[in-house]
Amino acid sequence: MAKGGDGREAFLMTWNRRLGHPAFKAVTVLAESVVDSMVIAGLLAKIPGLAAYAACITAKSAHLPHKEGHE
């Protein structure tokens, strides 16, 4: 959203980053039924999948420890 706003209205991707990369559907549910002052600007009829935002994939990935003794 434009600079100078009150922070209550933002695009879906902005809310996704602000909330720590939850599923896009979870963000829309929050805006529609849980948080009164949360507005998603320019919301599309079809919510994009996880592949639409590479940072989500990185944020949700886990680092597994290396097994010792393997080369």
Give the model confidence (pLDDT) of 10-21 as tens digits: 988 889 889 888
- Say if 47 falls within a structural domain: yes
Average pLDDT over residues 56-60: 66
- Say if 51 falls within a structural domain: yes
pTM: 0.62
Query: Are 35 and 12 in contact, with CB atoms under 8 Å apart?
Result: no
Identify the band that residue 71 occupies on the pLDDT scale cut at 50, 70 and 90: low
Paired tokens of 56: 């989500």
Pairwise CA distance, residues 13 & 52, whole Å:
10
Cα dist from 58 to 5, 41, 54, 67, whole Å: 29, 25, 7, 22
Average pLDDT, the chain: 76
- Say if 65 falls within a structural domain: no
Q: Which domain covers residue 26, as residue numbers?
A: 9-60
Query: Are 1 and 10 in contact, with CB atoms under 8 Å apart?
Result: yes
- Count of structural domains, the chain: 1
